[in-house]
Structure 1
């Protein structure tokens, strides 16, 4: 859970005091104190939420660290910078954290920047410059400023593109300020734009071509971030999957001044038991590995979501894992949970031939051939096949961020185009691998929505922090497959800090057997849930085709049933907000 706050906005500055007076009693009942005024906005947050003033009348809400991970509580030294834009850029260039930056504009308006990791939630509703910006719509609801209404056009979009995050939400009139984006409120007008872009870090001028230096930079950035977060939280539970990414987070926790515990989830079926690997990291950290069994009954399709959740994102497996980790966190009485989520994407685990295509285009024939050999070793195919796939990637028109999935939806004959995430606007002549990994990086922004944890504990994704993203984006895609290993630079960076067996893993456990068992055991319940639900009543599902699928046996290794969980996820969200 991020820091709680609400910012009240008015188009006419003289009306702000009246707005504040009208909700003063409700704000006091929520223990919300005024932390300052910035342009047309009044910011309210509990006293324990860190906030400090910036030169020129700005306010930073949240946690800020310098480049070596030391907490920052004073930016008065930036008073020499000539403009608010210069201060904002300096913060982005020399600091990182989980924060919102409120700044005044020249004509009495306000600009809000959400940090590139998205660590502080930010939903807003502005009509003619009047409205609110908040971490939690429950606050706005208590003030009488919001009531949930489902945006059915968004639901239709989500059915086609369930794993894409856009600024639009499932609640009518509510938008989300996405990570790295800025919201400008000027009089009766509001607009958004990019304050931080991942495309900047894949340009030739930023490219880090020395693998040794790249590994050092990534090790330093990741270690600094993990330790800074851990020492801020003082106690944590590390969710260990046994794979490379969560193990790297564990390695960075060594010698951190914090109390920690480690936990892994196991299932009644084979395939997901990672204790052999996870226990090695726990021993290295001097703690016992806790084990949590995922019972089949815990993987509900019909469950309560946080009030006013913005979009469908949490599904049955996530629900089961959430309960397991919450149980462990409660027993250990920790303040936060640490995840290796996003590591595959940040560490450039591309499954296409794009890295070899990138090497050809950026470095020529010799580097391209070397990357093709690495690609063939990585995927266990012939050099000829790897070369053919790389050439195809070079010369074919690049694909879009994702394809629509209309399976089991009623066809209306009206095409519903993909609404774009701001990171989907690729610059001209960008390399294929950079295009793919930044598109995938945008998808990781759904992780915070889908990771349900209770008890007010923060969920940390250090591998999706600004310093780690920047360090990894600077490393070209072909270096990440060096020696025929995926995530090669990350392995090199932590080669002296991870157990040999973990460092050199090429495979990882899967929950597919467990997920299929949940589907098989609950087919009748799923059928009633979908065919008697809101999506059906809105004419969005094809009941005949859906019934036929649910009644038919699945061939071996057929994973088409996973689409059913997408539909259940969306139906469950709708039921929580209807």
Structure 2
């Protein structure tokens, strides 16, 4: 595994070295209490404070990082604080790391495959499965494997003998300050400069860069930032037979404007397998099967080339794409019901293609209802009483108290996209960079008032203003987005009998988690115009596929209900 990480904090065991050898990991260094192995493509660095950096770390100021707190990136840090061993994960873009007890120590691993054959209880956590079905994209430290915990971005695991404790070292709420009223030009300029600088940092030491360029605003901004940073790269865009998923005209315009070579790849529903086992097993449900066509098309185009994949993932989330009336409420709390607030109301209505009356009515209703207190629950196709009433806790929950609904929405959106960073199969064991989620960029965006993001009646208005001079106008100011509904419907209808068998005869149904009657009734429907509940069935099918793959894995014991 080229980018695997395996470590033992505490009592080192021969089995760890054997697992590392089996997966072609190389020893980095060993000091008392730590055994660390990484893949051949993983960068390592020793900092002045004695900690070992695994991955990329970029200084926030100056030319070097004396300690991990001096930098940002996608790093993991391992080291000592007195008698305490620690593993630390960078905020936001930190590489994934999972940990659990093994013998007298703590085992840490980046991938499930690295620990599948080690002697620990790898049964499925069914409480997690039920929770994941009800609270979509709510990623907490809990995983689908009993006894295994994820070290979340911006947190540190401290091990002192038999004790293990996790502390949060970064929070988005520290960057959500009191709203300011800087001019749009000034805010946009600051965002542009920081994003270009962050992209330039990511390109250091990377040779063959391939940009996934959809033609939408977010990936186009990354293209413009790469060009501004003087990076040499190529781009790849994917097109479906249906017009809704064909954005080649926009991608071509951006590639021409940024002087980037563009490869165009077509794919259709016949390359999508909605029922087969996932290619790779993960600590929690991973790849979305419905995106398998893109994954396979990418692999055909790129093959085994050693590349760095850049993309626009996270743009909607970081650039505060919020189609609610929350910016109006935040403006009213800050300015009172004056000209600025009514201007925001007009902007929100225009951005949503709604009337001013609709915006006023929904604002009044939202004010009376108050802020949403917890993650939204979805019980569609789930059995009554089978899922938890409350979501699992997350370190960022605490800071939400006292925050406006707009800022809660912004932080929640960032949390949602962090659940996607390791899902696509085409990214497995590859060098993937999400520049829009760079820590300095996110911190700037969190401080921007919500009403500024909708100024002029356009979503993501600050980002648009920042990069409009570098992009074709038809891309910088476009309102629509490419979609793949026609492709998804075709894949669903073609594989509907197999999906029905997978769900109604599967492990989730046997556990009593699913509403069999509702699911069977939906499978009998032929007219799906305007009804997107089939997406929900595909999400549930992904969870079923994951459960079956884990139960069939070597070294992973049966679920507790099967013993």
TM-score, normalized by length of structure 2? Answer: 0.91
- What does residue 4 of structure 1 align with? 4
* Residue segments in structure 1 that go unaligned for 5+ positions in a row: 11-15, 79-86
- Which of 352, 356, 359 in structure 2 is aligned with 1:383? 356
**Post-superposition offset of 1:306:** 5.0
**Post-superposition offset of 1:127:** 5.9
Q: Give the Cα–Cα distance (whole angstroms) in 1 for the partners of residues 506 and 386 of structure 2.
A: 23
Q: Give the Cα–Cα distance (whole angstroms) in 2 for the partners of residues 393 and 408 of structure 1.
A: 28
1:52 maps onto 2:28 in alignment:
no
**Post-superposition offset of 1:409:** 2.3
**Post-superposition offset of 1:414:** 7.0
Q: Give the Cα–Cα distance (whole angstroms) in 1 for the partners of residues 416 and 428 of structure 2.
A: 26
Q: Give the Cα–Cα distance (whole angstroms) in 2 for the partners of residues 439 and 2 of structure 1.
A: 32
Per the alignment, in what secondary structure is the counterpart of residue 113 of structure 1?
strand
- What is the RMSD of the two structures over their aligned residues, measured on CA atoms? 2.5
Task: Report if the CA contact (8 A) 2:6-2:110 is conserved.
Answer: yes
Instruction: Render the CA deviation track for 1:477-525: whole Å, top value 9, x for unaligned.
Output: 1100111111110011002100011111011121112111211222112
Task: Report if the CA contact (8 A) 1:237-1:334 is conserved.
Answer: no
- What does residue 561 of structure 2 align with? none
Task: Report if the CA contact (8 A) 1:39-1:110 is conserved.
Answer: no
Q: Give the Cα–Cα distance (whole angstroms) in 2 for the partners of residues 100 and 134 of structure 1.
A: 11
1:540/1:130 CA distance change after superposition, 3 Å: same
**Post-superposition offset of 1:307:** 4.0
- What does residue 141 of structure 1 align with? 116
Per the alignment, in what secondary structure is the counterpart of residue 478 of structure 1?
helix
- What does residue 59 of structure 2 align with? 66
1:97 maps onto 2:73 in alignment:
yes
**Post-superposition offset of 1:348:** 0.6
- Which of 150, 164, 174 in structure 2 is aligned with 1:190? 164
1:324/1:384 CA distance change after superposition, 3 Å: same
- Which of 112, 126, 140 in structure 2 is aligned with 1:166? 140
1:283/1:231 CA distance change after superposition, 3 Å: farther
- Which of 306, 321, 334 in structure 2 is aligned with 1:362? 334
* Residue segments in structure 2 that go unaligned for 5+ positions in a row: 552-563
**Post-superposition offset of 1:286:** 2.7
Task: Report if the CA contact (8 A) 2:387-2:513 is conserved.
Answer: no
**Post-superposition offset of 1:255:** 5.4
1:145/1:362 CA distance change after superposition, 3 Å: farther
TM-score, normalized by length of structure 1? Answer: 0.89
1:128/1:22 CA distance change after superposition, 3 Å: closer
Give runs of aligned pairs for residues 442-461 of structure 1, distance below 5 A: 442-453=415-426, 456-461=429-434
1:272 maps onto 2:249 in alignment:
no
Q: Give the Cα–Cα distance (whole angstroms) in 1 for the partners of residues 102 and 313 of structure 2.
A: 36
**Post-superposition offset of 1:544:** 2.4
1:512 maps onto 2:488 in alignment:
no
Per the alignment, in what secondary structure is the counterpart of residue 494 of structure 1?
helix
**Post-superposition offset of 1:363:** 2.9
1:353 maps onto 2:310 in alignment:
no
- What does residue 441 of structure 1 align with? 414
- What does residue 311 of structure 1 align with? 284
1:65/1:28 CA distance change after superposition, 3 Å: same
Task: Report if the CA contact (8 A) 1:34-1:43 is conserved.
Answer: yes
Per the alignment, in what secondary structure is the counterpart of residue 322 of structure 1?
helix
Task: Report if the CA contact (8 A) 2:88-2:156 is conserved.
Answer: yes
- Which of 76, 98, 111 in structure 1 is aligned with 2:86? 111
1:522/1:21 CA distance change after superposition, 3 Å: closer
Task: Report if the CA contact (8 A) 2:130-2:386 is conserved.
Answer: no
Task: Report if the CA contact (8 A) 1:322-1:451 is conserved.
Answer: yes
- What does residue 217 of structure 1 align with? 190
- Which of 175, 184, 191 in structure 2 is aligned with 1:201? 175
Q: Which segment is superposed worse, 334-343 or 400-409? A: 400-409
1:141/1:208 CA distance change after superposition, 3 Å: farther
Count, aligned residues? 550
- What does residue 13 of structure 1 align with? none
- What does residue 539 of structure 1 align with? 512
Per the alignment, in what secondary structure is the counterpart of residue 174 of structure 2?
helix
Q: Give the Cα–Cα distance (whole angstroms) in 1 for the partners of residues 478 and 38 of structure 2.
A: 45
